[in-house]
Structure 1
Amino acid sequence: MLEFRQVHKTYATPQGPLTVLGGIDLRLGAGESLALMGESGSGKSTLLHLAAGLDRPDAGEVEVAGKVISSLNDPARARLRRETLGLVFQQFHLVPSLNVRDNLRLQARLARRDDIEWAGHLIERLGLAGLETRYPEQLSGGQQQRLAIGRALAPRPALLLADEPTGNLDETSAGEVLSLLLALVSEAGSALLVVTHSPQVAAPLDRCLRLTHGQLVPAYTREKA
């Protein structure tokens, strides 16, 4: 579902070139969940942006759902993001002028996969039933994050990318949101890549890799029951 093949990425800094990814190889299979950890500035978000086609590698290939996304032009990458990927960020990026129902269904409509029954199921599972006509500013932080997760999963994406999805939440809300995220990803049949600094967020996922000095180091692989 996601593959990095000898991916390199370097940024220019006042102190000289800074290599954040130095020949990364990574494979994520369909339905698999993977946590990516590392110190601040280690390149975790860079890797996620490359996976989403929001940036290009200096060398190597990034393949998503069988397509080498790193070689696509901007319109093709935007189409792949719309039709194949779900994105959840620490900042919720909800549309202020749309209510809960329309925010949740927005991505599915853009992907031309709007499923009213699945959307209703998501609203129920995310604890947003009865709030469908409210606007983002009328929701708590936890409710907004759950809505952002629902929007990303509404089209049943092949791959969900999440950047610190519980970073703005308190410990209790973070645990609830993570449990919901993992359950709904499984129901949607999506693969999941989560960038996090939190061992608690990483622990329930199938695998964990740590990014250090531009290289990926295995942290653990969870044994499946």
Structure 2
Amino acid sequence: MLELRQVHKTYATPQGPLRVLEDVSLRLAAGESLALMGESGSGKSTLLHLAAGLDLPDQGTITLEGQNVASLPEPARAKLRREQLGLVFQQFHLVPSLTVIDNLRLQARLAKRDDADWASYLIERLGLTGLEKRYPEQLSGGQQQRLAIGRALAPRPALLLADEPTGNLDETSAGEVLDLLLSLVHETQCALLVVTHSRQVAAPLDRCLSLRLGHLLDTVL
């Protein structure tokens, strides 16, 4: 599903080159969930952006569904993101002028995979029944994040990438959102890569790796 092989990434800074990732390799199979942990600034989000084709490695290859992401031009990477990836962030990134149901179906419509029955099922599973015509500002934080997860899963992506998906929520809401995320991922059999600093978030996932000084290490929780 997703493979990074000997990936290197360095950024130019006023203080000189900053090496963020060094010889990073990982594989993620269909239906598998993986937590990526590390201290702030360790390169977790950089790795996620590389996996999504939002940034390019200096060296190495990134393969998604058999395609070398780094070798594709930006229009092709954008098409791949629309059709194969779901993205969930700490900030909800909902469209304020769209209703709940229109936010939910937005990504699926862009991917030309809109399915009214699947959208209705997601609304029910997300606990948003009866709120379809509300706007994001009329929802709680937990409801907004559940909606963001539904939007990412509406096109039935092959891979879901989540960057601190419960970081803006209280402990109770975070637990509910995580349980729902893992349940829906299991139902759809998409692969899941979660960037998190939380051991509570990482614990239920199939595997956990940590980034330290640019290197990827196995982590035992």
- TM-score of Structure 1 vs Structure 2, range by shorter chain: over 0.9
Structure 2: any 5+ residue segments left out of the alignment? none
Quote how far apart the aligned CAs of 1:15 are: 1.9
Distance 1:212 1:182 in 2: 26
**Which residue does the alignment assign to 1:24?**
24
1:185 equivalent in alignment to 2:185:
yes
1:96 equivalent in alignment to 2:96:
yes
Instruction: Report the more deviating stretch, 73-82 or 108-117.
Output: 108-117
**Which residue does the alignment assign to 2:118?**
118
Structure 1 residue ranges, 4+ long, deviating more than 4 angstroms after superposition: none
Alpha carbon RMSD of aligned pairs, Å?
0.8
- Conserved? CA contact 1:94–1:136, under 8 Å: yes
**Which residue does the alignment assign to 2:213?**
213
Distance 1:99 1:13 in 2: 42
Quote how far apart the aligned CAs of 1:117 are: 1.1
Amino acid of the residue matched to residue 84 of structure 1? Q
Quote how far apart the aligned CAs of 1:220 are: 3.4
**Which residue does the alignment assign to 2:74?**
74
Q: What's the TM-score once normalised by structure 2's chain length?
A: 0.99
Distance 1:165 1:216 in 2: 21
Q: What's the TM-score once normalised by structure 1's chain length?
A: 0.97
Distance 1:91 1:36 in 2: 18
Identity of aligned residues (%): 79
- Conserved? CA contact 1:83–1:111, under 8 Å: yes
CA deviation digits over 1:62-103, x for unaligned, max 9?
A: 111111011100100000000000000011111111100010
Distance 1:90 1:144 in 2: 11
Quote how far apart the aligned CAs of 1:115 are: 1.2
Distance 1:65 1:166 in 2: 27
- Conserved? CA contact 1:85–1:157, under 8 Å: yes
Partner of 2:60, secondary structure, is strand
Amino acid of the residue matched to residue 113 of structure 1? R
Equivalent runs, 1:28-67 vs 2, <5 Å:
28-67=28-67
Amino acid of the residue matched to residue 135 of structure 1? Y
Distance 1:203 1:42 in 2: 20
Distance 2:65 2:172 in 1: 34
